[in-house]
Structure formats: structure tokens, C-alpha cells
Amino acid sequence: MERILDRLGRAAAGHPWRILALWLLAAAALLGLGQAAGGTFVNDFRIPGAESQQAADLARAAFPEYGSASAEVVWHSPDGDLRAADRRAAIAAMTTAVRNQPGVTAVENPLAGQGVLSPDGRTAIGTVRYGPELADLGPAAYHRLDAAAEQARARGVEVTFRGLVVDLAFEPRTGPAEAVGLAVALLVLLAAFGSVVAAGLPVLVALAGLVVGTALVLIASSLTEIPTAAPIVAVMLGLGAGVDYALFVVTRYRAHLADGLPPVAAAGRAVATAGHAVLFAGATVVVAILGLLFTGIPFVGAMGVAAALTVTAMMLAALTLLPALLGLLGPRVNRWTLPRLRRTTAGRSAGRTTTVASGQASSPDANLLLDATDGGWWVRWGWRIDGRRVAYGVGATIVLLGLAAPLLTLRLGTPDDGNQPDRWPQRRAYDTVQRELGPGWNAPLVLAVSRPTADSLARLTGALATDPEVALATPPVRSPDGTLALLTVVPRHAPQDQQVSDLVHRIRRTVGPAAASDGGRVAVGGQTAYMIDMADSVTGRLPWVVLGVVLAAGLLLLAMFRAPLIALKAAVMALLSIGAAYGVLVAVFQWGWGLSLLGIDRPVPIMSVVPMLLFAILFGLSMDYEVFLLASVQEEYRRTGDPHRSVVAGLAGTGRVITAAAAIMAAVFVSFATIDDTLVKMIGIGLATAVLVDATVIRVVLAPAVLGMLGHRAWWPLRRPPPDQPTPDPSAASSAPA
């Protein structure tokens, strides 16, 4: 594989203009195809086989209007009755205007006996139903609704909206988050490289990969339903991974230039070494994310497809576009150095001495000084870890388990509109309904009773009336053919509260079967039931996703390093970093620690899709640093056969790059936490936490400590050569300054 990558890097560096032209043509063609395909992003919460899906299918078959795209209108009069003549007329005029809008099939007027009207007449709820599919409506549908409400507002009526049609107009946008993340990344790269040109290359390559990745996601959205948050997650992950991959390659390229290789040969070697790590790390990320397709939840699988396409584009950019740019620049990659960030470090290997510019984290065979007292900071740190490997290993493990401890209280759910920004109409509608009608009106359940009889319906309504969590159960409405009855159940608590989940499970386990004992069936549906089913589905399938991803990643690592204990160690450490990220998520979002800093004013359960999505992404990302570190360690071990010296050399050669890469990724991920979407915030905080933990506690403490404890056994069955140089006395580690 390294020979193939070497030839690929040399070919790209030797013919840079051809590669640049191909990338430009490919980007233009894919963008044009994506625009022509006209793909859109829609939240599709279907869960095949779930009871809520079965209830929706039954209701749609008996009541064709059920399940159509819809928006909910909330009218509220703070200082009077909506039934007053002028307000009644204004609401009637508004509903008539809405009925005449494109795509609208029906509008409920609560003052005409439809929808919901509060007992005091101050608050009303009506539904607007559409004929076209949700994906065909677009944001314009909400804006037309909002314009039609002006005449009612002129009469002193507060009008707000919510529902999936409204959500289309408030899809999260990246905008400033991208710019902030890239700006911080550029600053970190400047500090790492000390050269403006070298620092700008990873950002430039990441942006080019992002263009291609975004075009691929847009094309995919025309072929399947991609969630609205998927492009943002893909951009977040793509930017972080793209800058990291390019950083690894540029670092090796500069090191090979410093060793005297010509630009084309240096580019080939950089792609053969760092590019090899990028290929395996990227492949692990893609395989892990595509594992989400096997969850059986289309929403989650589509998120994985979008992220995998973007990471693939970033990987291709690092392996083809970047070496072309390096070949074009040659030694000018070190141009425009910043004096205060430039320094030289003497290096020695096998009797040779060289000067390495700041930021050129050389490979172990590129003249590192491995003396425990005279080496650089990373060398001294490596020998310190090796000299007290058991203590550092146990300490790091305790820290990771402590961070993961809140995971024991994890509760899955779905934040409701009460967690939206207070300037959004969905939030204002939610607050009005909760204040005037009760929190349960924001979480109605729809019960579909098949083959209903008078006795079964009587038993069902009677049982619901005595349930302490049921605030209201509407009279059943039979279908025209009498094969199905629908009734709405209003809980006493908000949609994301545990009591509502308990009510759904209680109806399914006891209330429904007891009422339909004469051959019928009661299926619980509605948006709230969908969310509960998603949480249950994730809980049941997450262990299988974990197993599949761990096995796939372990096989990839085994194929690369041919060392079973290395693959096992990597999997265990990845699980520890992911557990720490989960624990921080629970502490922040579920316990509410620092939640106000993220613009959320109340604790929320962890969104059902987050653990599964984060696991796939984080397991893949943790392999980035693992592969880059282990490739460097293995390179030295193959050369010297000394497991301790190889760990120190690998850490010294990659530690600076790994910590810089982690800082870049964390900055990108945290910047996306400012976006007004709870799912994106959770993913951003979870990714940033895991990356920082992985690159600090694990990669520069726990991993070298465990490799030191394993010694030669870590690389079994690799045949080790005799050392070709003396090994420094590890006992000096205890006296080496930190």
C-alpha cells in the first residue's frame, strides 16, 4: 500500500496543474449536478416496525388526511375573548386566506367548532393541512402563513405557529460557525508551523474537500431523505477531519524536505507515510459512520451517509489535491515565517545531525534526539511516562472513568419546542399552549383502535379517565368504514418528561390490551410516541452498533499493523474516550451544568440519535490519532526493535501534531455549538470533549503508558530486528525535567 501511495503522491506532485484542473472540473460538475437534482433536506422520523409507525399507517389508511404535511396555528388574546366579534371576524378572514394558499387542503377554525378552544375563550389551536409532501413545500409555506396572520394581529390577537412545515423555515445554518472554527484552526496552524503558507494549506484543502463533500450530500438528498441537521454535522466533521488529515501530510512533507529530499520525492514519501495513516484513519471513520445504516432508523442512517460522503471527499483531497499543491510550492511551503514562532532544534539519529524548523514534527527516523535529559519536551515527557507507566496508566484510567460516571444517569428522549430559541415562533407557541392549556397539550398522543367495538372503546376511555397522567381523552372518532377509531390523549406533563414516556408504555402494556381483549388492537402514535419509540429503538440496537463498529475498526487496525494487542488496545481506549464524552454530555445537557452558556434555558434529555451517532463518529475519529501515533511508533520499532525507545520516538514525533490537530478539531466542533439546534449543540460538545480527552489524557498519557507496559508483546507477532543503536537508560526518566 505504501508503494502505491508513494507513486500517487509523486504523480500528483509531478503534475500539479493537471490535478488542480481535475479537482476544479469535478467540483464544478458535482455542484451543478447537485443544484440540478434539486435535493432538499427533510426530517423523516419514520421507524419501520415501531408501534407509532404502525399507528400512523393505520390512521392514514382510514383517514387520508392524517399524516399529511401540516402546521399548527396558536391564537391567543392576552386581554380579551377570541369570540368577540372583531376578533372572530379577523380569525375567520385569516383562515379563509390560508385556505386559498398554494398546497393547502384544509384549515381548522376553532371558533367554528373545529380544533381546540380554551374554556375561557382566550386561546385556540387549529391545524393547517397540505396536499404536497413536506419536502416539496419549502420555507415559503411558513412565510405565507405568517403574512396571513397580520390581520388578526392588527386586532390584538397573538398568532404563532409550529409543526414540521414551520420547521422548514428555521433550518439551522452554519454561517459564522464555519468562519470562527476556521479562524481558530488557522491560528493553531500558525503556532504549529510558524509559516503562513504551511498553515494556510490545510485550511485551503479542507475548504476544497468541503465543496465536493457538500455537493455529494446535495446529490444524495435528491435520492433519499436527508435530515436538516445532517449537512451541518457533515460540515462540522468534514472541516475537522479535513484540516487534520492535511496537517499530518504537510508535517511529514516539511520533515522530508528538511532531510534533503526534492519536493516531488518528499510529497511521495509524505503520502506514503502520513497519507497511509490518513487512508486507514479515514476508512475507519467512514466504515464506522456507515454502520449507522444498520440501525434500522432511516433518520440516523441518512445522517451517517451525509457524514461519510464528506469525510471521503476530505480524504481524497488530502491524498491527491494536497500533494499537487505541495509539488507546486516546493520549498516555498516554508515561506512567510513568523519570527517569534520560529525556532530550531538540533536532532540526531544514527550519528547524523540536522536542523528542524518549528512545527516540523519529524518521523522517528528523521533525526530525533532521544536522550532522556537533553531531548526536547516531548522526549522528556515520553521517558517520564515510560519510567512510571503503571502510575500514569492507572491515573489516566481513573480520570476517564470519573468523566464517564454521569453516564450512569443517562436518559434518552427528544427535546421539544420548549428548548427552541425564545425568538422562534415554535417556542412562543409552545409557551403559550403550556401556560394557557397545560403542558400536555404540547404532547398529545393519538390512539388508533383497530376493529373497535362499543365495549372495547368504553373500556379504553374508562381506563384512560382513571389514569393519573391523563388530563383529557377525546371521544373516539370512527372511520367511515368502521374499521378504525382514533382518539387523542392529552398527558399532564410536557413531551420530554419521563411521565409521558411511562404513560405510553403503560397504555401499550396494560391499558390497550385489556381494552381490546375482544380481538382488536390499540396502537399508540403521534409525534411524541415517535420520539419515545426512537429512544427505545436506539437503546435496543446501540449494543449491536457498538459491536459492529468495534469489530470493523479492529479488523482495519489489524490489517494495518498486524498486531492483535494493538487493535484491542485501540478499541478499549476509544471506548473510554467515548464514555467520557457521554458523561460530559449528561452533565451539561441533562444535569444542566453550564447549559445557559449554550443558549438553552432548561435541562433536556439526551437526544435519542446522539449516542449512536456520536459513537460511530468518535470511534472513527479516535482512530485518526491512534493510527498516526502507532504508525510512528511501529516505524521506529521496525528499525530498532526497542519497544520503549519506539514509544518515546513515536510520541516525540507526533505529540505536537496530535495536540495541534486536537485543538483544531475541538475549536471547529465547539464553534458549531453556537448554532440554534439542540442536536447540533449536543454533537458539537460531545465531539469536542472526546477529541480533547483522546488527544490529551489518552494519546499522550494512557496510550504510551500501556504500550510501555506491553513492551514487545504489543507488536506480536511482528518479527523484531536487533537494535541498531544503544538505548538510553530509562531510569533517567525519573530525574528528567517535565
- For residue range 223-263, what is the model confidence (pLDDT) as tens digits? 777 777 778 888 888 888 888 888 888 888 888 888 888 98
pLDDT at 635 over 70: yes
Averaged pLDDT, 499-516: 92
In a domain, 203, yes or no: yes
**Same domain membership, residue 23 and residue 166:** no
Supply the pLDDT for residue 20: 93
Q: Is 717 exposed, middle or buried (0-12, 13-18, 19+ CB in 10 A)?
A: exposed
- SS3 (DSSP) at 448: strand
Residues 356 and 331 in one domain: yes
87 and 229 in one domain? no
pLDDT at 325: 93
Any idea what the CATH number is for the domain that residue 504 is in?
3.30.70
Last residue of a domain, one of 116, 151, 170: 170
Helices (H) and strands (E) in the chain, counts: 25, 14
According to the model, what pLDDT value does residue 445 have? 93
Residue from 215, 214, 220 nearest 236 by CA: 214
What number is the average pLDDT over the span 146-167? 92
Count of domains observed in the chain = 3
Q: Is the pLDDT reported for residue 364 higher than 70?
A: no
Do residues 232 and 287 share a domain? yes
Mean pLDDT of the 582-600 span = 89
Is residue 672, in this structure, part of any structural domain at all? yes
The answer to the question of residue 50 being in a domain is: no
d(CA 654, CA 650): 6
Q: For the domain that residue 129 is a member of, what is the CATH number? A: 3.30.70.1320
Same domain, 387 and 474: no
299-315: buried (b, 16+ CB within 10 Å) or exposed (e) per residue?
bbbbbbbbbbbbbbbbb
Q: What is the mean pLDDT of residues 483-508?
A: 92
At a CB cut-off of 8 Å and minimum separation 6, what does 554 contact?
567, 568, 570, 571
Question: Is residue 43, in this structure, part of any structural domain at all?
Answer: no
DSSP-derived pairing of the beta strands 412-413 and 606-607: parallel
Q: Are residues 407 and 435 in the same domain?
A: no
Cell of 386: 515510560
pLDDT of residue 45: 64
Domain that holds residue 343: 2-36+172-412+533-735
Using CA atoms, how far residue 252 sits from 172, 269, 335, 368, in Å, is: 38, 8, 17, 14
Round the average pLDDT of the chain to a whole number and report it: 83
Element (H, E) at 125: strand 123-130
- 578 belongs to a structural domain: yes
Three-state secondary structure along 330-341? HHHHHCCECHHH
- Per the domain annotation, does 228 fall within a domain? yes
| Residue at 418 is within a domain | no
Residue 131 to residue 138: CA distance in whole angstroms: 13
Residues 700, 681: one domain? yes
Q: Among residues of the chain, what percentage have pLDDT more than 90? A: 32
pLDDT score recorded for residue 92: 93
pLDDT band at 558 (very low <50, low <70, confident <90, very high): confident
Helices 140-148 & 85-99 angle (0-180, nearest 10): 150
Domain boundary (170, 195, 217) is at 170
Q: What is the pLDDT of residue 175?
A: 60
For residues 197 and 95, membership in a common domain is answered with no
Mark which of 512, 532, 552 sits at the end of a domain. 532
* pLDDT greater at residue 554 or residue 83: 83
- Does 408 lie in the same domain as 331? yes
Residues 380 and 327 in one domain: yes
Q: Is the pLDDT of residue 349 over 60?
A: no
DSSP state of 702: I
Predicted model pTM: 0.76
φ/ψ bin of 361: left (φ > 0), alpha (ψ from -120 to 50), beta (otherwise): beta
Q: pLDDT: is 246 or 506 the higher one?
A: 506
Q: pLDDT digit string (tens) for 295-341?
A: 777 877 888 888 889 999 999 999 999 999 999 988 888 887 766 55
Which amino acid belongs to residue 145? Answer: L
What CA dihedral angle connects 367, 370, 376 and 377, to 10 degrees? 130
pLDDT of residue 42: 66
Q: Which three cell numbers stand for residue 48?
A: 419501520
pLDDT digits (tens, 9 = 90+) for 537-548: 888 888 887 887
Poorest-confidence range of 273-287, 319-333, 480-494, 516-530?
A: 273-287
Residues 515 and 550 in one domain: no
Kindly report which listed range (41-50, 81-90, 179-188, 288-297) carries the lowest average pLDDT score: 41-50
**Same domain (yes/no): 392, 461:** no
Q: Which residues contact 133 (CB under 8 A, 6 or more apart)?
A: 69
The answer for residues whose C-beta is within 8 angstroms of residue 671's C-beta and 6 or more apart is 177, 178, 180, 181, 184, 684
| Band (425; pLDDT cuts 50, 70, 90) | very high
User: What's residue 584's pLDDT?
Assistant: 93
In a domain, 111, yes or no: yes
pLDDT at 344: 38
